[in-house]
Amino acid sequence: MDDRRSAEQIRDRALKAVAELSRLLDDCREWCPGPDFERIGIGVGLAIGQVQMHILDPIYGRYPELDEHR
16 contacts 56 by C-beta, under 8 angstroms:
no
Give the pLDDT of residue 58.
97
pTM: 0.88
Classify 33 as helix, strand or coil: coil
Give me the numbers of helices (H) and strands (E) for the chain, helices first please: 3, 0
Q: Mean pLDDT by 10-residue block, N- to C-terminus, for the chain (70 residues)?
A: 91 98 93 91 97 98 90
pLDDT for the residue numbered 69: 79
DSSP assignment of 50-64: HHIIIIIHHHHHH-G
**Predicted local distance difference test score (pLDDT) of residue 67:** 94
Buried/exposed 31-61: b ≥16 CB within 10 Å, e otherwise: eeeeeeeeebeeebeeebeebeeebbeebbe
